[in-house]
Homo-oligomer: A and B are copies of this chain.
Amino acid sequence: MKGKATSFDIAYRAGVSQSTVSRALRGSPLVSLDTRKKIQAIAKELNYKVDKNASNLRRQHSVTLALLLFEDPSPDDSLINPFFLSMLGSLTRACARQGYDLLVSFQQLSEDWHAEYQDSHKADGLILLGYGDYVEAREKLQHLVEQGTHFVRWGAVVDGQPDISIGCDNIQGGRDMTRHLLGLGRRRIAFVGDISEHCPEFRDRYLGHSEALAEAGLGVDPALQSDAVESTEQAGELAVDALIQRGVPFDAVFAATDLMALGAMRALARHGIAVPAQVSVAGFDDIPIARFGTPPLTTVQQDTRRAGEELVDCVIRQIRGEPATSHMLPSRVIVRGSCGAPSGRDGG
C-alpha cells in the first residue's frame, strides 16, 4: 500500500460508489446491510480511517474541545497547580465518553486568547481553567461571548457575569468548614486569601466563613483576614507571618487553598506553634498532597470528577444549541488531623 487508503480505494474494491462507502461508514440507514458489512470488512482490512480534516471541513466542526489552562508564570514551569491537573484527568475522560477529542493548551496570562481555537476550527468549544484575575479576565470573557464562542469557565458564579461558569459552591464550602472549626471550639479563626473582587472564589469562601460566624453569634474581625498575593505555599506562609506580626491572637487558620494551608503550617511550625494543639489549620481543594501534610490537612473537597463531566457537558450543549446555565457543585469537608478533630473515615 502506498500512502493511506481513501474512501475511493475502498469503493473500488467493494464495487460501489464512494458516496456509499461514506454512508456505510457513517452508519447511515440508507445503505443495505450487505453492502455495509462488505464495506466495513474492506475498511478494516485496509486499515482505513476517515480523514478527520476532510470530514471536519465538510461538516464544519471539529468534534474537539480545547482546554485553556491559565497559569501564573512561574520559574519552574513543570510545576502545575495540582488541582487543575486532577481536573484534566476527568476532563479528558468526560470528553472521550462524549466522543470528543481534547486539545490542551497552556495560556500565558498575558496572552490574547480570544477565540483563537474556535475561529480556526481547531475546536468547537473551549473550557477555561484558572482565568487569573477575574476583573482583568472579565472583558475578555465579554468579548468571547460577543463573538458567539462556545465556552464555559471553571470558577465562581458571579452576579451579572457575561459568561457561563461552573464552580463548586464556595459559600457552602466556606460555611461548612468554619462550622467544623467552631464545633471544635475554635473562636478566633484567621482567614488567609485575597477576598477582593479579583478573586471571587476566595471571596465566596470568606462569605460562607462569615455566615457561619454569624450563625454562632460571632462577629467578623477584619484583623483576622490576611491577603496572600498568589495561591501558593509561599504566599500562604508569608500571610501567616504577617498575621503573627500583627499581634492578633488566633486559634485557627482557614486558608482559601490547600497550597496556602500547607504554607501556613510551615510558618506556624517555624514560630513554634503546634498544629492542631494550639492552632487548627484548614484548607480548600483536597489536592493529593493534602493528606500528606504534617499533620494531614483537613480541607474542603471539590468533586473534580463531576466537575469535569459537567464542564464538558455544558460546552457540548452550547455547541448543539441547547440551553446551558451557570451552576454550582456541592463540596464536602474532609476531616483529617490538622484541626484537632478525631479523624473521619474519609481521611484516607
Contact = CB atoms under 8 A, between A and B. Distances in A.
A16 interface: no
Contact of A304 (B78, B121, B292): B78
A260 to B, nearest CB: 15
A52 B89 CA distance: 26
Contacts of A218: none
Contacts of A277: none
A31 interface: no
Contact of A120 (B49, B147, B262, B294): B49
Given A47-B115, A57-B54, A104 B92 contact: yes
B92 A106 contact: yes
Interface stretch (A79-87, A181-189, A208-216, A311-319): A79-87
A330 interface: no
A56 interface: yes
Nearest to A303: B78
Contact of A106 (B50, B96, B293): B96
A140 interface: no
A76 to B, nearest CB: 8
Which of A53, A116, A262, A305: most chain B Cβ within 10 A?
A53
A196 to B, nearest CB: 29
Which of A52, A96, A106, A262: most chain B Cβ within 10 A?
A52
Interface string A91-119: 01100100001111110000000111001
A88 interface: yes
Number of chain A interface residues as a range:
35 or more
Nearest to A85: B85
B305 A120 contact: no
Interface in A289-347: 289, 292-294, 304-305, 308
A288 interface: yes
Given A90-B77, A101-B105, A105-B96, A120 B52 contact: yes
A136 interface: no
B104 A50 contact: no
A115 B48 CA distance: 10
A92 B105 contact: yes
B119 A47 contact: yes
A239 B64 CA distance: 42
Interface string A50-74: 1111101100001010000100000
6 contacts: A47-B119, A49-B119, A53-B57, A77-B93, A78-B308, A79-B288
Interface of A: 4, 47-54, 56-57, 62, 64, 69, 77-80, 82, 85-86, 88-90, 92-93, 96, 101-106, 114-116, 119-122, 147, 262, 288-289, 292-294, 304-305, 308
Q: What 10 A-B pairs come out closest when comparing CB atoms? A: A292-B292, A49-B119, A53-B57, A49-B120, A53-B56, A80-B89, A85-B85, A289-B289, A78-B305, A52-B120
Given A54-B57, A80-B86, 11 more contacts: A4-B119, A53-B54, A53-B56, A53-B121, A79-B288, A85-B85, A93-B106, A102-B105, A103-B103, A104-B104, A292-B294
